[in-house]
Amino acid sequence: MSKPIELYGKPWSERDYLIVLHYYLSNRGNPRHHLSPYIKAAAAIIGRTPAAVVMRMENYASLDPHESVQRVGLINISRLGEKVFNEWHDKEESLRECALVFIRDIAANNTPTLFDPDPVRLPIAFGKYELLDPIGAGGFGSVYSCLDSQTGAVYALKIIKTGFVDDNETVSRFRREIKALKAISHPHIIKIHEDNLDKTPDYPAFVMDLAQSSLIDYLEDKLAGTRDGDNRPLLPESEAAHILFSVIDGVKALHKHEPPVIHRDIKPDNILHLVDGSWALADFGLTKFLPRATVTSTFATASKQGWGTHGYGAPEQFQDFKLTDERADIYSLGVLTWELLSPSWPPFDRAYTLLPKALEDLVVKATSRDRTDRHQTLEEFERELRAALADAAS
């Protein structure tokens, strides 16, 4: 067994989903509980906990027209789970035959013994979180949904990509992300619940809040809902302003920390819509703890390598990462302001913002290539943004 699978487990496969759907359809009307015999039987077959099987059946109940429309299990279902349900739920006989083939195959390869009687293998990195589905990936890490087998609560688990475990620079960045999230608690910064740095530091991972979606997905859903696919901005100004100020509040908490922290990768992909409706900044893989005094550092700067996301990253990030300070985040927030409020389409063009004059002046100043011409503090940027929004509304 490979080290990552041993530590974190395996995500749900199409076979897992299909077998559980067979048990779900065969037991309509029966109680769904972790002690229910058919739940325990399905869990034993696929090597999952009963709690995970119950959750998947609640997912299916949310999709099932025969069940109440009030079910709420969709929050945790994946596209693969929806695909399996849509393809098989009205083909019960074919589903049963297919599921029985899979069940026989599993039984032939996983016969329990006196020394190994339990088919469920919780990953050892945390001891209680069961891997569910892949939900996203960044440059260095992959994010999965996971289930707390003790409480039934669902979280997100971020794991370093296996191709980077021997890359000291990337491992250091991943550890730094964990350090930053543990250091700062704020409603608009994603909350970390547990990490494994003390147990398995060579394969760093951490458990955090599970989001409904990222801002980029949220905007894409809004775009898909427009009649002609040509309406920008995609959000009402009041909602766009709420998101902007939520992100600004989170970034202010970073900049006011001792030592100050800069994010360096603020973009819609890294702004998450949480289950309670709030917005939080995530993905701290490019975070930097900013020393108050000038220091010499070789971390990720020996070759003057640039990091960041083109279109959102400040120019100095691609020249020499050592040059970045709080004003790099202000640049990204300027682009985000344009993204949420402008009727023009990407890519961002300072000469063609199509924003009202006050907002255009704000965005042009925030995104100056020369950081000395930008807003010098986040408080200055926020103050001018509020004034520009008020001016645009008058």
Residues annotated as catalytic (active site), given as ranges: 265
Between the two ends of the chain, the Cα-to-Cα distance in Å is: 64
Under 8 Å between Cβ of 233 and 183 = no
Under 8 Å between Cβ of 230 and 344 = no
User: Looking only at Cα atoms, what is the longest distance across the chain?
Assistant: 77
Sorted by sequence, the CB contacts under 8 Å of residue 150 that are 6+ apart come out as 128
DSSP 222: H
What SS3 class is residue 241?
helix
Sorted by sequence, the CB contacts under 8 Å of residue 190 that are 6+ apart come out as 181, 208, 209, 211, 272, 280, 281, 282
Q: Please name the residue ranges forming H helices in 279-367.
A: 326-341, 357-366
Sorted by sequence, the CB contacts under 8 Å of residue 391 that are 6+ apart come out as 356, 357, 358
Burial 10-39 (b: 16+ CB within 10 A, else e): bbbeebbbbbbbbbbbebeeeebebebebb
Query: Which conformational region is residue 354 in: left (phi greater than 0), alpha (psi within -120 to 50 degrees), or beta?
Result: left
Q: Please name the residue ranges forming H helices in the chain.
A: 3-8, 14-26, 37-46, 50-63, 79-88, 92-109, 168-183, 215-224, 237-256, 326-341, 357-366, 378-393
In degrees and rounded to multiples of 5, residue 193 shows phi and psi of: -105, -35
